[in-house]
C-alpha cells in the first residue's frame, strides 16, 4: 500500500461509559499505526455527549490504557466541548431541508415497525412527519409535543464507496430509515456529531468494526450534505473468542486484565495487529516493523479469532527478548543485568523474575532424596576444589563425572535440586556464578546432610 500524498489523520473515538476492551484496543491500534506509518496524526476523540452515562474516571482510564500500550495521541478533543459547532451545523442542515422534526412517540414508532414486519416488509420509517401541514405541526407544538430530529436521506442515487477491507460497498438509501440525529430533549445521538467532528478535524481515514458498515452509508450522505469530503473507511471483521463464536467475555478483557496477567504491551500490539490478516503473528518488541507492514488489503472478511493462550505465548516470547534496561524498574532490588540474562529464557512474565531471584539469593529448601546423599557430599567436596573464577558449573560437573562415573540426568539433576530446590529452571552454567561459591557450598552441604538424615 503506497502512502497518500495528503496528510493522514485518524481518530479513535471511545465513549467514557466503561473501560476499553480488546475490540476497542484493536481499533485504536490500527488507527494509531496507520497514522504513524504515513507520518500523519492520531486523534483521541472522547465521545461524551451522553452526560448521564459518561464518567470522568473512564476518561482517565482510557488515557492510561492507551499510554500503557504506547498509543499516544497527537491531539485530544471532547465532544462535550463542541456542542456549539454541532448546533451551527445542525441549524444549517435544518435550513437546507436535510434535517426535519418528527413528532411520533416511541410507542407509535414501535407500532409502525410491528405492522410493517407483520406484513413482511422492512421496518423503514415512512416519513409521515414530512407530510404534516404547517397547521398540524403548529397544533403539535401548542400541545407541547417536542419533536425528535431526523436526517433526510437522498433517495435519488445509491450510496457507494470502496472500503479498504471489504471492497466495493453499495446501499440503496430508499431501503433505509432516515436516522434520528437528535432526541426530543435536545441531546445528540452518535451519527451526526461524529460526522461533524470528522469533517472539522480533517479526519482522512476511519478504522472501525464491520458492525458500523450501515452507519457509514448514512454518514456518507451527511458529509455530502455538509459539503465536506468523506474519509476513507476500513471496516475490520469483528473478534471472536477462542471458542470460535462471538463472546461476551471479549467485552471484559482489557488493559487491567492483561497487565494483571503479566502480559507485555508489545504482545498485545503484536497479536492484535495481525490476527484476522494473512500476515503471521510475530513477537516484536519494537512496533516499527508492524507499522511498516500494515496493509488493509491483508485483512480478511472472516471474524478474527482472539485467543488468550496465544497472547500469553506471544508475551512470553516478547519477555525473552527484553533487555535489562527495559525491565530494570520491574525487577527486585539488587537484581542486575547478569541475573536478568540468566533467568529471562525461563520466564513467561517479567514478574516471575522475582521468584528466581529468590532462588539465587536464598534461602531454599534442600531436597530429601536419600539415595543422593553420598553423591551430594562428594559434590560439596568437589565444589571446594574447583576454580570458581571461570566456569564453575562445567568445572564441577566434569570433575564429578570423572569421580562418580555418573552422566546425564543422574549427574545433573541432584545438583540442580540441591543448588536451586527445583527440578527445572535456567541454565545452571549461568545460574551458578550468580549463586556464588559460599551459598553453593552451603546448599550442597545442607543437601548432603538432609539426604543422609532422610
The binding site consists of 248
96: which DSSP letter?
Answer: T
Distance, CA of 370 to CA of 130 (rounded, Å): 94
DSSP assignment of 342-373 = HHGGG-SSGGGHHHHHHHHH---PPP--GGGH
**List of residues 6+ apart from 2 with CB closer than 8 A:** none
Best CA proximity match to 194, nearest among 67, 301, 47: 47
The torsion region of residue 186 among left (phi > 0), alpha (psi -120 to 50) and beta comes to: left
Q: Which parts of 50-179 are beta strand (E)?
A: 75-78, 99-102, 148-151, 159-163, 167-171
What sign for the dihedral angle of Cα 99, 102, 105, 107? negative
Pair 147, 184: CB distance under 8 Å: yes
Binding residues for ATP, as ranges, are: 248
Distance, CA of 437 to CA of 434 (rounded, Å): 9
Distance, CA of 451 to CA of 374 (rounded, Å): 8
Amino acid at each position: 500500500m503506497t502512502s497518500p500524498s495528503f496528510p493522514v489523520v485518524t481518530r479513535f473515538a471511545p465513549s467514557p461509559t466503561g473501560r476499553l476492551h480488546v475490540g476497542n484496543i484493536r481499533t485504536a491500534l490500527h488507527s494509531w499505526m496507520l497514522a504513524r506509518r504515513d507520518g500523519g496524526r492520531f486523534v483521541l476523540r472522547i465521545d461524551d455527549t451522553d452526560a448521564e452515562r459518561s464518567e470522568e474516571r473512564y476518561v482517565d482510564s482510557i488515557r492510561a490504557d492507551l499510554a500503557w500500550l504506547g498509543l499516544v495521541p497527537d491531539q485530544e478533543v471532547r465532544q462535550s466541548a463542541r456542542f456549539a459547532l454541532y448546533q451551527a451545523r445542525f441549524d444549517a442542515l435544518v435550513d437546507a431541508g436535510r434535517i426535519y422534526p418528527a413528532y411520533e412517540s416511541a410507542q407509535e414508532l414501535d407500532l409502525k415497525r410491528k405492522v410493517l414486519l407483520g406484513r413482511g416488509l422492512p421496518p423503514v420509517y415512512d416519513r409521515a412527519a414530512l407530510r404534516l401541514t404547517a397547521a398540524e405541526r403548529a397544533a403539535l407544538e401548542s400541545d407541547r409535543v417536542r419533536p425528535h430530529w431526523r436526517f433526510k436521506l437522498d433517495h435519488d442515487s445509491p450510496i457507494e464507496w470502496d472500503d479498504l477491507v471489504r471492497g466495493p460497498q453499495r446501499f440503496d438509501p430508499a431501503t433505509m430509515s432516515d436516522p434520528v440525529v437528535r432526541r426530543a430533549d435536545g441531546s445528540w445521538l452518535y451519527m451526526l456529531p461524529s460526522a461533524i467532528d470528522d469533517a472539522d478535524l480533517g479526519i482522512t481515514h476511519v478504522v472501525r468494526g464491520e458492525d458500523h458498515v450501515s452507519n457509514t452509508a448514512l454518514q456518507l450522505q451527511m458529509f455530502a450534505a455538509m459539503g465536506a469530503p468523506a474519509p476513507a473507511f476500513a471496516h475490520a471483521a469483528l473478534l471472536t473468542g477462542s471458542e470460535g463464536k462471538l463472546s461476551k467475555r471479549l467485552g471484559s478483557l482489557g488493559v487491567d486484565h492483561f497487565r494483571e496477567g503479566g502480559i507485555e504491551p508489545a504482545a498485545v500490539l503484536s497479536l492484535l495487529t495481525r490476527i484476522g490478516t494473512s500476515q503471521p503473528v510475530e513477537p516484536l518488541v519494537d512496533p516499527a516493523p508492524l507499522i511498516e507492514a500494515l496493509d488493509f488489503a491483508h485483512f480478511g472478511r472472516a471474524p478474527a479469532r482472539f485467543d488468550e493462550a496465544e497472547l500469553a505465548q506471544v508475551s512470553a516470547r516478547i519477555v525473552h527478548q527484553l533487555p535489562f534496561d527495559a525491565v530494570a524498574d520491574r525487577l527486585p532490588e539488587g537484581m542486575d543485568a547478569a541475573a536478568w540474562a540468566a533467568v529471562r529464557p525461563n520466564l513467561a512474565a517479567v514478574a516471575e523474575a522475582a521468584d528466581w531471584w529468590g532462588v539465587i539469593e536464598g534461602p531454599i529448601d534442600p531436597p530429601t532424596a536419600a539415595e543422593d546423599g553420598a553423591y551430594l557430599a562428594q559434590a560439596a567436596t568437589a565444589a571446594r576444589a574447583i576454580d570458581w573464577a571461570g566456569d564453575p558449573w562445567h568445572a564441577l560437573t566434569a570433575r564429578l563425572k570423572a569421580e562418580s562415573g555418573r552422566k546425564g540426568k543422574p549427574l545433573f539433576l541432584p545438583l540442580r535440586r540441591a543448588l536451586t530446590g527445583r527440578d527445572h529452571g535456567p541454565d545452571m552454567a549461568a545460574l551458578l556464578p550468580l549463586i556464588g561459591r559460599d551459598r553453593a557450598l552451603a546448599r550442597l552441604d545442607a543437601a548432603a546432610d538432609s539426604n543422609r538424615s532422610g
